[in-house]
Chains A and B, each alone.
Chain A
């Protein structure tokens, strides 16, 4: 499928306009108060719908939009369930948004240290945050390079590298100058453009099929080259017990892990009172569910109108299906209509790419500045201005290596890193949040076991999974050192993470080091007993 020059020009023009607009917004709204809290919070008194759209914007990342719509287009049923689990994850988080807001703070370290303080806790929380967010950032940058070079009609290696560098430079600028306030605005603009463009595409699709779901689904079954199997579970993960377990594992990891990733929770806790927090979460879930519905229709329409062959020829995982659909639709309205539709969807995807990389960089930098720098290195006694400077330098310190790395590995299939982030969210962060918000018996050892044990279990199983080696779509397709038979680890590591937290919090008479009882004439204040064990 070739692009007309007018569509390319329109795409390039709209990219420049959007990038400049977003940069202006960031610089205009940036606060110069020198208070790091202003850098981390969006607005002190946000409207529910603006904050809700910002949460949804942070939540709907570019990699998830593109890969999910691709899976809907290529595998139908499996993709629909994936959309469902993605929306469900945010719905589940809206139930814990209120206790999270009461716990206060921005980073994972802030949330857990409220009940269980200490430098080790802060360091572990920051390590887990970075372990989840940095791979996620890398895959977003890589997708940005691939998608932008595709949209400009020049999908070759050099263009891809240049595109990654441009997106990376913009991302560092947005995060460092704008802080949470600037990126919130970028997220809101992105959500409006994304929802508007997808609604337009959905309406054109429905008009094309005269509003008949029968015709649409029938055409999709034909176009997907799978026939009746398109509307049955099993196309994406294969039939048989292993494929079914893989399906359950992916859905479980996404449903539990996506919503509690630190860049989402950081945005969720902005608000004046519990009601404002609840209302903004209602808006976020509503916007996400609506967009999920659009993704389902667009994916099915891509299968029907573009077809399986052209989609896999452009990208084996179908990530470009969202861009191929407007081209197929635009063929009805020659030249001008095609250019406008293509540029609108391209602009929405471009904005999504920019906003998600900026949001991820900001969240990772916040964790470094607040947890590592302010609490672990300066032990909570540093000046506020130095914390703000640390946050800005951390944006650069994360952004630059991420861009360089993304350029170096631009030929690899990095889908496995999305799964890694979700699995860490589901196996380490979710048990930690549930226990520290709802279980009084949770203690420091349980916390460290959950955070570090859950992450380590995910990392080890993931390295030896079929997503890294031993399958044609793996990270290293030519090697085979796998012994874990699934693509995602959630089905094993989620129970493991919960178990680790509970076991760690128990007192083990055999494991715990016995201490001499305090002498009666020097009573130790209640609560200090647990402190000096040195464990």
Chain B
């Protein structure tokens, strides 16, 4: 396929820089390369984590909730007021949190809208 693209004057694939010496790349073990790629993606930096907080906080919170629901069922069924238990309440609170973050985002973007 790529030779077809070259004939069509398409932008080629790849990293758009001259290739590294393949023997040099082969010397780095796979695990080291994984660490290097993660670092390059900003995983090791505070800034990278702050930028991803909007995605990671709800996702990791939810996954933790799912795992706790599955393996800590006794703790999640501690009865609280109003017929609710801890698990149901945590679920409803997350749902309310999603709704709240949407409302907050809309209000923030509406406030920063330039007047027409």
A282 B105 Cβ-Cβ under 8 A: yes
B54 A95 Cβ-Cβ under 8 A: yes
Q: Determine how close the nearest CB of chain B comes to the CB of A441; give it in whole angstroms.
A: 6
Complex partner residue of B95 from A84, A94, A502, CB under 8 angstroms: A84
A116 CA to B12 CA, complexed, in Å: 8
Complex partner residue of B83 from A80, A213, A443, A502, CB under 8 angstroms: A213
A528 B88 Cβ-Cβ under 8 A: no
The SS class assigned to the B binding surface is helix
A243 CA to B84 CA, complexed, in Å: 24
A283 CA to B16 CA, complexed, in Å: 39
In the assembled complex, which residues on chain B have CB atoms less than 8 Å from the CB atom of A292? 95
A440 B2 Cβ-Cβ under 8 A: no
Chain A CB within 8 A of B66 CB: yes
A275 B112 Cβ-Cβ under 8 A: yes
A444 B69 Cβ-Cβ under 8 A: no
In the assembled complex, which residues on chain B have CB atoms less than 8 Å from the CB atom of A535? 2
Q: A514's closest neighbor in chain B, by CB?
A: B22
With A233-B69, A530-B14 known to touch, is A278 a contact of B109 (CB < 8 Å)?
yes
Q: B77's closest neighbor in chain A, by CB?
A: A232
In the assembled complex, which residues on chain B have CB atoms less than 8 Å from the CB atom of A283? 102, 106
Q: B61's closest neighbor in chain A, by CB?
A: A88
B101 A91 Cβ-Cβ under 8 A: yes
Chain B residues in the interface with A (C-beta under 8 A): 1-6, 8, 10-20, 22-23, 25-26, 33-34, 37, 40-41, 54-55, 58-59, 62-63, 65-67, 69-71, 73, 76-77, 82-85, 87-88, 91-92, 94-95, 98-99, 101-103, 105-106, 109-110, 112-113
- Chain A 87-103, CB-CB to B under 8 Å as 1, else 0, gives 11001101110000000
Chain B CB within 8 A of A44 CB: no
The SS class assigned to the A binding surface is helix
The segment from A117-125, A342-350, A357-365, A409-417 found at the interface with B is A117-125
A285 B40 Cβ-Cβ under 8 A: no
**Which one of A92, A116, A286, A531 has the highest number of Cβ atoms from chain B below 10 Å of its Cβ?**
A531
Complex partner residue of B41 from A81, A213, A439, CB under 8 angstroms: A439
A531 B102 Cβ-Cβ under 8 A: no
Chain A residues in the interface with B (C-beta under 8 A): 48, 77, 80-81, 83-85, 87-88, 91-92, 94-96, 116-120, 212-218, 228, 231-234, 244, 247-248, 251-252, 255, 275, 278-279, 281-283, 285-286, 289-290, 292-293, 296, 379, 438-441, 443-444, 502, 506-507, 509-510, 512, 514, 526-535
In the assembled complex, which residues on chain A have CB atoms less than 8 Å from the CB atom of B103? 282, 286
B15 A88 Cβ-Cβ under 8 A: no
A216 B83 Cβ-Cβ under 8 A: yes
Q: Determine how close the nearest CB of chain A comes to the CB of B42; give it in whole angstroms.
A: 9
A214 CA to B26 CA, complexed, in Å: 64
A279 B11 Cβ-Cβ under 8 A: no
A290 CA to B34 CA, complexed, in Å: 41
8 interchain residue pairs of minimum CB distance: A530-B14, A444-B13, A531-B12, A120-B1, A214-B83, A217-B83, A509-B26, A286-B102
Q: B106's closest neighbor in chain A, by CB?
A: A282
